[in-house]
Chains A and B, each alone.
Chain A
Amino acid sequence: MSASSVGAAPNAPPSIAMPRRFVSRLLSKPLAWVAIVWLVAIFALGLLANQAAPFDPLEQDLLAVKQLPSAEHWFGTDELGRDVLSRVLHGTLPTFVGVAQALVVVMLLGVGMGLTAGYFGGRTDAAVGQVTNLFQALPMIVISLAVLTVFNRSMLAAMVTFGIIGSAGVARVVRSATLNVRNELYIEAARISGLSDATIILRHVLPRIMGPVIVQLSLIAAIAVIVQTGISFLGLGVQPPAPTWGGGIFDAAASLNDFPWLLVPSGGVVALTILAFGLLGDALRDTAVETWARPAHRKQARKRGDKLALEAVFAGAPHAAVMSVRGLHIATGDGTHQRTLVSDLSFDLMPSETLGLVGESGSGKTLTILALMGLLPVGTHIKSGTLRLEGTSIDLTDEDSLRALRGKQLAMIFQEPMAALDPCFTIGHQLTEVIRCHEAMNPAQAQARAIELLKQVKIDNAEDVARRYPHQVSGGMAQRVGIARALAPNPKVLFADEPTTALDVTVQADILELLRALKQSHGMAVVFVTHDWGVVADICDRAMVLFRGKVLETADVLDIFDRPQHPYTAALLKANPHSAPPGQLLPTVEETLARMAREELAA
């Protein structure tokens, strides 16, 4: 192998089909610059070691052993008085040669296998998958040591072996990159136009996947440095007294007791070179992939309103109300990009009352109850609002106070009953955990209470169901379990977020019936989020209509159906599939609103 190709492999940006923009963007990163400069410099010095090194690396001076750095010996001297700097410089070339040997193997074998598997797919893909699995099943060192034993400690054999084993990981990355490219239309077009597979792979596929390939190669180079120095450290490969980087570290080990300085130059040059390859790989990856930053989750500054101000908000609230909400604002984003999702929402909930929250998707129904639970999704937050629960007022921006209410006072059931259960624990376990979290009970008592709760939600074989995992029960059963869990601490208010939407029609009716019965027996108030007027009519006492985060009207259910105050409510009622005459197209909310507007204009 010629010396120039040794350096070119890891350092030079590849010329083929690499967009110029990529290179300039890479070079705009200071770390990439540092890495490239270090690699080029150390490689050049290694190449010119005979001229650059101040001393013969084997020349001993027993009168000057274990000296710290001086003007004469920049890196000091080792246990035989040899110049450490000279030994480091002379050790450079063997390391870079080893890295290059591994890289050549990886380029041919790893990239080749990956391209073949990804491009041809099918059986070829499966076969390559088997081979790469096998390579990755074993620790590299085991094979390397066996190879070194058989091949008389040949470094070439060891680095080629490393290349073969390292090819497995590279092949996987190349395969998936190739799969993506292969399915693009222009590849299909090239195939139809009669280009041979080899031409398509080399001219059209390979250039497109150069990004991930180069990233992989720079990582392989970093590991190859560790492997090469590691094998020298083990006393295999290049034999002492010939200077090697790994041998330098082993020499340092020998003088560890009285001269630890040797660790610094020997380890330093190795670490810097590995770091340079690693940083180069990182910079290449960052350049290749558009980096996306997760939006920073800024903690809302907590403003604790004073008690009196909080109380004043509820001046007009009915005294008997079990829960009152005033001035709830929910927003997303921050600063200038803030968008209001729910604005100035207020309502009162009477004991044992069921209030329906009705509106289209995105009207803010679910957000409202999540906000009251203190469970808003990341990226949204409460700007202002107050909650009064049984005479106690709480600033809604204070998440900690809300947390204290969760479960015990306010409970919730969810739209996707199955997803609401932890798949890793049995139903009984999840129930007892919630029970014991709210009440001091021993495991046996909690178990008995869990069974009792399951029976309350009309599960006949409660003992059996308690032993099952969530994936072993039906959706309707999972929702019953969700209800049982919500009921466990005897909450004052139950939030139900479209709890029947994801269920079969017959199961829906059962769950609604169950909720109605439980509400009466437990004396809970319920806030029922739905877009289904049938459900509203069935279970709610009052309904609150939401449109784009604003309350349009709140009224008794009978009034809403008979005399909707707001045109939007009327339009929404018209769009109800349950009341529509069969065989006729259902008017959308927009159509009805537009028609009403026209009628209003005409009048």
Chain B
Amino acid sequence: MVLRRLALSIPLLLLVTLLTFLLNSLAPGDLARTMMQGEGTEVQYLELRRELGLDQPLVVQYGRWLRHAATGNLGQSFFTKESVASLLNDRIGVTVSIMAGVLIVCVSAGLALGVMSALRGGWVGRAIDTLSLVGLTLPSFWVALVLIAIFAVGLQWLPATGYTPLRQDPMAWLLGLILPVLSVSLVSITTIAKQTRDSMNEVMGRDFIRSLRASGLPERSVIWKHALRNASLPVVTVLGLVMVNAISGTVFVERAFVLPGLGSLAVSAAQNNDIALMQGATLYFTLLTVVINLLVDMSYGWLNPKVRVQ
């Protein structure tokens, strides 16, 4: 199962990187000219083209990039001339930290709200429906700014911007992550809650719930252990989609909180036409997606014994 997914993720990686290369050739004008911004001589232009490998066919360019990528060499940033791989490696910790926080918040809050709404229905359910509409309505980057205005500028409880590495100061790392994580999560919590509610409603009607109750098990065990475990498969599927979407959320939130993550790096690459850097960033983002899908598959196996046996 997991191995199969790993095997399937290789074509995805190839395809995405190939796509960025094809885009490159679709670009209006010529990369070398764009980079020179109308300055320099024709000789310098040809020089730059050769330097970038643009004089060779696309297939050759792609093949060379792949060979280098396999050895961890993603080339140089067109703009700063630094190694793309080391730029990306410096930044990925921030993005992964946010993603981990989003995962924890979404799972705990989403499951709790979903189960409550399945059991109580009524106002919790209506609140989730309303909040999910509000969540859809409010762009995460605006929510981020409002949170900064309230909790950082107004109440001064939490830092407004910036990132402290975990190794440097774990407490500052955690405090700095709270608002970014909340900004990304708020939209997704209700998505998880809704799916949890629907699949809990389905599972609570199954025969074994009645027989567990007949055995005299306490409701908390029937609900939080047996029903939730059985209801969790579709929730995990949705959680996977939510986490893939959260990657987009980190891009905006990193800009709002001025966090040095992959997203802000990719945005500056877009601002500077830094195609080499963007190709590297795309590869990293795709790898993140692959890891998320892999975790989803692994938890299927953990949650459902039938999947495990096959």
Contacts and interface: CB of A to CB of B under 8 A. Distances in A.
Nearest to A161: B23
Nearest to B148: A256
Contacts of A222: 136-137
A419 B212 CA distance: 11
A416 B214 contact: no
B109 to A, nearest CB: 22
Nearest to A253: B145
Given A256-B153, A271-B142, A408-B216, 20 more contacts: A141-B251, A145-B270, A145-B282, A151-B27, A222-B137, A229-B139, A233-B141, A234-B251, A406-B213, A406-B214, A411-B216, A412-B214, A419-B207, A423-B306, A434-B217, A437-B215, A437-B217, A469-B305, A469-B309, A486-B214
B305 A137 contact: no
A578 to B, nearest CB: 28
The 9 closest A-B pairs by CB, nearest first: A407-B216, A419-B207, A141-B248, A420-B211, A139-B247, A412-B214, A267-B142, A260-B149, A142-B285
Interface residues of A, number: 77
A407 B215 contact: yes
Interface in B250-302: 251-252, 255-256, 263, 266-267, 269-271, 273-275, 278-279, 281-282, 285-286, 289, 293
Identify the interface centre among B139, B146, B212: most chain A CB within 10 Å of its CB.
B139
Interface of A: 134, 136-143, 145-153, 222, 226, 229-230, 233-236, 249, 252-253, 256-257, 260, 263, 266-267, 270-271, 274-275, 278-279, 282, 294, 297, 370, 373, 375, 378, 403, 405-408, 411-412, 414, 416, 419-426, 433-434, 437-438, 469, 471-472, 482, 485-486, 488-489
B194 to A, nearest CB: 14
A495 to B, nearest CB: 8
B28 interface: yes
Given A150-B27, A411-B214, A249 B137 contact: no
Contacts of A471: 305-306
Interface stretch (B12-20, B53-61, B66-74, B163-171): B12-20
A419 B206 contact: yes
A186 B87 CA distance: 61
Given A153-B271, A230-B139, A139 B245 contact: yes
Nearest to B273: A149
6 contacts: A234-B252, A256-B153, A267-B139, A282-B133, A411-B214, A414-B210
B153 A257 contact: yes
Given A139-B289, A236-B271, A407 B153 contact: no
A521 B216 CA distance: 22
B40 interface: no
B270 A485 contact: no
Contacts of A235: 267, 271
Nearest to A267: B142
A270 to B, nearest CB: 6
A146 B139 contact: no
B224 to A, nearest CB: 13
A139 B240 CA distance: 11
A150 B275 contact: yes
Contacts of B213: 373, 375, 403, 406
Given A423-B230, A424-B230, A134 B306 contact: no
Nearest to A376: B210
Nearest to A147: B23
A271 B230 CA distance: 37
A489 B216 CA distance: 9
Interface in B120-162: 121, 133, 136-139, 141-142, 145-146, 148-149, 153-154, 160
A249 B145 contact: yes
Contacts of B255: 233-234
Nearest to A229: B139
Contacts of A150: 20, 23-24, 26-27, 275, 278
Interface of B: 12, 15-16, 19-20, 23-24, 26-28, 34, 121, 133, 136-139, 141-142, 145-146, 148-149, 153-154, 160, 205-208, 210-218, 221, 226, 229-230, 241, 244-245, 247-248, 251-252, 255-256, 263, 266-267, 269-271, 273-275, 278-279, 281-282, 285-286, 289, 293, 303-306, 309
A514 to B, nearest CB: 18
Contacts of B309: 469, 472
| Majority-rule SS of B interface residues | helix
Contacts of A257: 153, 160
B133 A137 contact: no
Contacts of B241: 136
B229 A424 contact: yes
Contacts of B293: 137
B27 to A, nearest CB: 4
Contacts of B149: 256, 260, 263
Contact of B16 (A136, A138, A482): A138
B279 to A, nearest CB: 8
A138 B286 contact: yes
A234 B270 CA distance: 10
B248 A485 contact: no
Contacts of B16: 138, 142
Identify the interface centre among B208, B221, B293: most chain A CB within 10 Å of its CB.
B208
A422 B226 contact: yes
Contact of B285 (A139, A226, A249, A274): A139
B226 A138 contact: no
A437 B217 CA distance: 6
A234 B267 contact: yes
Given A249-B145, A278-B133, A407 B214 contact: yes
B47 to A, nearest CB: 22
B136 A278 contact: yes
Contacts of B247: 139, 141-142
Contact of A437 (B23, B216, B263): B216
B146 A263 contact: yes
A260 B267 contact: no
B217 A433 contact: yes
A267 B149 CA distance: 13
B303 A424 contact: yes
B129 to A, nearest CB: 10
Nearest to B16: A138
A325 B305 CA distance: 42
A205 B279 CA distance: 42
B145 A256 contact: yes
Contact of B215 (A138, A142, A282, A485): A485
Contacts of A271: 137-139, 142
A252 B145 contact: yes
Contacts of B153: 256-257, 260
A363 B114 CA distance: 37
A110 B27 CA distance: 24
A275 B207 contact: no
Contact of B221 (A138, A249, A437): A437
Contact of A275 (B133, B226, B271, B282): B133
Contacts of B217: 407, 433-434, 437
B133 A422 contact: no
A279 B142 CA distance: 20
A148 B270 contact: yes
Given A134-B15, A235-B267, A424 B226 contact: yes
A146 B137 CA distance: 26
A152 B34 CA distance: 9
Contacts of A279: 133
B211 A482 contact: yes
A412 B59 CA distance: 69
Nearest to A410: B214
B248 A139 contact: yes
B231 to A, nearest CB: 10
A472 to B, nearest CB: 8
B102 to A, nearest CB: 13
Nearest to B207: A419
B207 to A, nearest CB: 4
